[in-house]
Amino acid sequence: MKQLARLRRSLSLARFFTPQGREVGPITLVRRRVYILPTRTGLLLTGILFVMLIGSINYGSSLGYLLTFWLAAIGLVAMFHTYRNLVGLTLAAGGAPPVFAGQSPHATLRLTAASVGQRRLAIALERPSGTLELPPLDPGQATPVTLSLSPLHRGAWRLGMLVLSTRYPLGLFRAWSNIDLDMELLVYPPPADPSPLPPGMEPGEGALQGSGSGRGEEEFAGIRPYQAGDSLRRVHWKGVARGHGMQTKLFEGEAQGESGPVLLDWGQLHEHEDEARLSRLCRWILDCEALGRPFALKLPGIDLPVGQGEGHALSALAALARFGQSDLRDATPQWRRTSPQARS
C-alpha cells in the first residue's frame, strides 16, 4: 500500500506546482513560479472558436474567419495579461503575535508590487476554507494583509499553504502560485484560575546552588497558613503541637511573598492531566511577571534557569506552547478582512 501511495504521488501533477518545504524570507513570483491554465469559461470559448473555424472552412466565409481569429487574438492577449498580473509580486511574512488557547490568532503578510509594470488588479489569496480578495496594487505599492484564523488549540502552528491567484482581465485563464511561508503561530495554554504561587526556592536549590547563606542566618519574619508544596522544614511544629494547625515560617523578605526566585516545577503539581498542569504553570508565569518576581521553570526535558522580565516570561510561555510537540501543526486560516493599503 505504501508503494502504491508513493507511485500515486510521483504521478500526480500537483507535485510540480507545490514548493518543496517551507520558504524563508520574502518570496518574489518570478516566471518559473507562476502557472496558468484556462478556466471553464476559457475552455468553452475554445470550443466555440473551434466550431466557428469549422463552419468558416465549410462555408468559405471570410467574415467567419475574421471573427474567429479576432476572438482568438483577444484570448491570447488576455492570457498574457493574466500571467503578467502575478509575475513580479513579492509576498513576505509579517508578525503573528502569540495568543492563548481559545483566542483567534492573526497573521500579517506584506504584498508588494514591482516598481515597474502594470497596475495589479483582481488578485486573491486562496485556501480550502475560502478566498480573500486583495485591493489593487500600483507599481511599487505595498499593502499589509491581515489573516484572521479560527481559534486554535495549544501548540506551535504553521500558517500552511497559500495560493496567490488571479483571473484578470477576462476570466478566461487562471494564473496562480503556491506559497509555503516559514511562519510560526504560537498558542499558549489557557491560564488556570488564580492560586498562590509556590514557596520561594531554598538557598542552594536549583540555579541558586552555592549563592546564598543558610536559613539559620536569616531573621524570622512571621508565619502564614501552610500551603501545599511548602517545605516541611518551614512548618511551625511548635504551633502544631499546641493545636494551631499547620503553619509555615517566613523569614526576612518573605512576609510579603517577595522572598526571591520561585521554582515552577512540573513534578510538584497535583493536576493529573498534562493540559491542566500546563494551564497552572501558565497562570504562575503570568503572576510572576505581574509581580516582577524571578522564577525558574522545570518541565520534562526542559530546564529554564532563573530569570525575570517580559523576555523571560515569553520564553517560558513558548516552552509551554511547544511542550510535547515534535513538529508544527497546519493551521487553516479563515479569511475575514484585509487592512488598509499602505504605500512603501
Cell 508588494 -> residue: 112
Question: CB neighbours of 304 closer than 8 A, spacing ≥ 6?
Answer: 296, 297, 298, 312, 315, 316, 319
Q: pLDDT category, 168, cuts 50, 70, 90?
A: very high
Same domain flag for 57 and 32: yes
Same domain flag for 103 and 247: no
**Residue 246 within any structural domain of the chain:** yes
**Residue 145 within any structural domain of the chain:** yes
- The model's pLDDT over 1-16, given as tens digits with 9 standing for 90+, comes to 555 555 454 444 444 4
Same domain flag for 130 and 162: yes
Assess contact for 298 and 265: CB atoms under 8 A.
Answer: yes
Same domain flag for 211 and 182: no
Q: Give pLDDT, residue 228.
A: 59
**Residue 270 within any structural domain of the chain:** no
Same domain flag for 172 and 223: no
Residue 214 has pLDDT above 80, yes or no: no
Q: pLDDT category, 261, cuts 50, 70, 90?
A: confident
- The model's pLDDT over 73-128, given as tens digits with 9 standing for 90+, comes to 999 999 999 999 999 999 988 888 999 998 888 888 999 998 787 888 999 988 77
**Residue 294 within any structural domain of the chain:** no
Give the residue-averaged pLDDT of 310-314. 91
**Residue 314 within any structural domain of the chain:** no
**Residue 266 within any structural domain of the chain:** no
Give the residue-averaged pLDDT of 129-153. 85
| The last residue of a domain, from among 259, 285, 301 | 259
Count of positions (residues) in the chain: 344
In this structure, what CATH number is given to the domain that contains residue 125?
Answer: 2.60.40.10
Alpha carbon distances (Å) from 96 to 26, 74, 90, 187: 16, 43, 19, 10
Q: Give pLDDT, residue 8.
A: 54
* C-alpha cell, 221: 519574619
Q: pLDDT category, 255, cuts 50, 70, 90?
A: very low
Residue 221 has pLDDT above 60, yes or no: no
- Domain span at 111: 14-188
Q: Give pLDDT, residue 208.
A: 38
Same domain flag for 124 and 240: no
